[in-house]
Every structure is written in structure tokens, then in C-alpha cells.
Amino acid sequence: MAQQQAQLVTMERREVAGDPLLMGRYASGLAAYVLPKAHFRQKYAVVAVRYGSVDSRFRGADHARPLEVPAGIAHFLEHKMFEKEDGDLFTRFARLGASANAYTSYTATAYLFSTVEHFEEALELLIRLVREPYFTEASVRKEQGIIEQEIRMYEDDPGRCLVVNLMQALYHVHPVRLEIGGTVESIRQIDASLLYTCHRTFYHPANATLAVAGDVDPQRVWELAGRLAADGDGHVVERWDPEEPEPVREARVETRLPVSRPRLALGIKDPRRGLQGVDLVRRELAVNLALDAVLGRSSDTFQALYEEGLIDDGFGGRYACDTRFAHTVIGGETPDPDRLERRLKEVLLRAAERGVDPETFERLRRREVGEFVAAMDNPEMVANSLAILHFRGVTVTDYLDVLQRLDHRDASEALRDHVAEARMAVSVVLPDGRARADGVGAPGRPGGAARSDAPR
């Protein structure tokens, strides 16, 4: 059975911006990608599993009923996968000269390494990393302390607070409103048996992908990937998202932090959900190009807001989408969040009526093509994009195809469809008056907050 699952059943070769891209699919459903980069020193590999923070309610093959799990468990599982019965795999990667890491997003968990030597041994280790769960109650408790500090670190990060609060204002019930890492309280509910359950349910070849970029021997990658493809017993997981109402939950949320200046994020919840493949990519590109036309650096709005001092270089907007949710987040630091909010809403609503003109659209599309080509110089970015796009049912060449076929009418239409005041929310972070940086660089020290002890 395992032997059969590990068979490579299809293999395709495409060309992307002058580089070859090889795509293989195994009997168990695993997809693998290899982008050979001649002359590059770095060899990069990522195994991604389609399991993220939004998968908070699901039913696996061996569950009679749907299971509700604590927020942050996908991320917790990611941390714990590095520990095995015979020790910590991190150290093994280090011994090979490879640098390993992992990350968890709303929709995926990814394990990766970068190396210049011993690539094949490191890839074997990466495969072992995701395939072999090993959890004990003691090691779970130990990790709670580390993750608690990770959560605290983000709580002191104003940019992160701004977005987390925005998600909670935009969404009533959809799990994208949960923090990826969970909360100090939610992670205390996690135990070893729950981690085993999540691993068994989601870490399955058909629910995973491998992407490699660098000067590697593709044949060896196919052979090694066979081990990742093996043992798929064909089980499926059902995931549920609760019915999310169209209007936002709260139009405005505000918090105070020890920061120097206010920040504003304006969110727009997209009514379109459930898009897949090329349709999803088309939507993503159309909305993003439209947003760039309206608010991007070459727009009249950016120029005006910048000259008025309402925004700075950190200002920007991006439409983020997946098969299960989609929203835009626009914002940055500003001296006057209320005024910026009014201006942004005005501009967006007006642009939704007027649409995007053909000349602007062509210029922005040209930029997008250039950025796509530039990204091919970055093995890490390419490999991660391959993994993300795989879970949307497409690959990077489809992305380029869609980009070449879009026109300004698509962008105008997407904008009209996306922008509506009832689906907008703003999140504001205000200074609490307790962070004063006016002593930075000055001979003295910030107003009274610091004390300097004499040498003991």
C-alpha cells in the first residue's frame, strides 16, 4: 500500500520567466514542485500542510462528530513537531549546516530549511519532521511558556494589535478573527492527545505539498518525496466555517498602547467566498491592481494624502484572500485617524463608481509582471508561493497567465463588487501617552521613565 502511494503518477514541465518548473503528483495525492536554479548557492525546501488557525472546527475520518479545538492549536502543533523521542530535530538540521524554521498562517502550516550543503539529508529530515508526531504532557507544558512569550511579544507590537483588532471587528464568527497563535488562556487547554488528533487529521500526503528551489537534482527530490507521499490512507477531513453575516461586527474598534503615534487600519470584508483556482487568482489580482490604482504610490490619492501629512511611506493596502475568506486591509501611521478614515472611505466609494482607467491599469500590470520576474531571483519566495498557490489549486504559471489576460474592466468590476460601506470596519491604535521618545538621541533620558543605577 505505502509502496503504491509513493508512486509518482504524473510529471509536468513548464517554463516560468525563463526558469524550468517541474511538477510531480503522487498516487496518494501529494504534489511536489522543483524549480532548479542554476548557480544559486542556496537550496531551499518547504513542506506545507493545509492546516492553519482557521481550522478550528472539523471532522476527521475517525470522528463521529465535529470537533472544536482551542485557538492557536495549529501553531502549537508546529512548535511541537520539532521534538522527537530521540531529541530535537533543530539540532540535527544545524549539524547538517541547514537552517530550519516553520510558520503557521491562517490557512497553512509550513516547515522549511535553507542550506548550501547536505541538501538530501536535510530533505529527509524535513520529511521525518512532518511525518512523525511525538508529544508528551511534559513537553507540551514546556512549550506553553515559550508560546506565552511569543504571544506577549506580539501584544507589544502595535502593527499586529491593529490587524488582530480589525479582524475581530470585521468578522462576527469566522475563525479568521482568531489570533494565529491563540491566547495565553486558549493554549493552556492544549494537551498531547489533542495534538495527536490534529496531526492525524491534517498531516496527510493529499493535504500537503513540497516545494524545492535551488541547484538540486530533481530526480533525487522525486525519490525522497516518495517517502512523504507514502502511507496516505485516503482519509478526508471536513472543515466548517460558520455562516458569516455580510455586514461587519463593529464599524470601529480602538485601543491604546505605549506608542508614539496613532495607527489606522481600514478593513473591507469581501462578499465573495468559496472561490477556487484560477477564479480566486483572478479575483486577487483584479482587486489588488484596482486598489493600487486608487491608493498606490502613483495615485492622486497617495500624492495628496502624503503632502497633507496624513500618511507616510508605510501606508499601503492589500487584498488578502483564500478559499474561505477574503478581505482588504488598508492603513498605516497617521496623525489624524478620523480624517484619514473619512478620506479613504470617500476615495474608495468614488473609485468603485468610476472604475479604473485603461492607461493606469496597463502601467500597473506592467509593474506586476516585473515584480513577478524579480521574485524568481528569490528561492525562498518562489518556493513559498508555489506552496500557497498549490492550496488554491493553481501554480505560478497560471498566476502569470491570469495577469496577462486581465484588463481594466475586470479591475473596475472587482472594485465595484468589493467596496461597500456596510462591509468596512476601522481599527485604531492610539498612544496612551506613556511612550515618550523625545529623549532619543538626547544627552538625557526619556522623561523620568528610566533610572540608571550606579555600578555596583
Partner 1 sequence: MPAGGPARPFHAAREPGRPGEQGMVPALTEKEAPEAGYGWFETRELAGLRLHVLTTRKFKLETARVAIRLPLVREHVTANALVPMVLRRGTRRLPTLQAIARHLESLYGARLSVDVGKVGDTHVIELRGETVADAHLPGWRPGTRQLEALLRLLFEMWLDPARGPEGRLRDEYVVQEREILRRRIEGIINNKRQYAVHRLMEEMFAGRPFALHRLGRLEDLPALDGRALDEAYRSRILGARADLLVVSSAPADDVAALARRVLDEVGWRPADGRLDEIAQAGPAQDGAPPERGDPRVVTETQPVRQAVLALGYRTPVRFASPDYPALVVCNGVLGGFPHSKLFVHVRERNSLAYFVYSRLESSHGALLVSAGVDPGLKDRAVAIIGEQLEAVRRGEIEPDEMEATRRALVRRWRVDEDDPNALIDHYLVGLVNGRQRPLGELIDQVARVGRDEIVAVARTVRADTFYFLTASEPAAPDASEGQPVASRGEGAS
As a whole number of angstroms, the distance between CA 149 and CA 133 comes to: 24
Closer residue to partner 1, CB minimum distance, 64 or 454: 454
238 is an interface residue for partner 1 by CB under 8 A: no
Binding mask 165-184 for partner 1 (x = CB under 8 A): ---------------xx---
Identify the H or E element spanning 169: helix 158-170
Asked if residues 289 and 365 have their Cβ atoms less than 8 Å apart, the reply is yes
The binding track of 65-104 with respect to partner 1, each residue x by CB under 8 A or -, is: ----------x--xx--x-----x-xx--xxxxxxxxxxx
Q: Report the nearest approach of partner 1 to the CB of residue 346 (Å).
A: 19
Q: What are phi and psi of 198, to 5 degrees?
A: -65, -40
Residue 17 near partner 1 by CB under 8 A: yes
**Annotated active-site residue in 68, 78, 362, 421:** 78
The answer to whether 78 is a known catalytic residue is yes
- Name which position in 49, 77, 126, 364 contacts partner 1 (CB under 8 A): 364
Amino acid letter at 154?
Y
H-type alpha helices, 192-336:
192-202, 218-229, 277-295, 300-307
CB of 438 to partner 1, least distance (A): 6
What is the closest distance, in whole angstroms, from the C-beta atom of residue 96 to partner 1 in the complex? 7
| Binding to partner 1, residues 102-141 (CB under 8 A) | 102-106, 114-117
Q: Which H or E run contains 150?
A: helix 137-155
- Sign of torsion over alpha carbons 300, 305, 306, 311: negative
β strands within 208-251, DSSP E? 208-214, 238-239
Q: Does 254 bind partner 1 (CB under 8 A)?
A: no
Q: Is 41 in the site for partner 1 (CB under 8 A)?
A: yes
Q: Residue 293 interacts with partner 1 (CB under 8 A)?
A: no
- 353 in contact with partner 1 (CB under 8 A): no
* Secondary structure in 3-state letters for 339-401: HHHHHHHHHHHHHHHHCCCHHHHHHHHHHHHHHHHHHCCCHHHHHHHHHHHHHCCCCHHHHHH
Instruction: Please tell me the number of Cα atoms within 13 Å of 74 on its side-chain side.
Output: 29
Task: Rank residues 147 and 212 by Cβ distance to partner 1 and give the closer one.
Answer: 147
User: CB of 295 within 8 A of CB of 287?
Assistant: no
Q: Which parts of 389-408 interact with partner 1 (CB under 8 A)?
A: 389, 396, 399
Applying CB under 8 A, does 444 fall inside the site for partner 1?
A: no
357: contact with partner 1 by CB under 8 A = no
**Binding to partner 1 in span 311-340, by CB under 8 A:** 312-313, 318, 320, 333
Residues forming the active site: 78
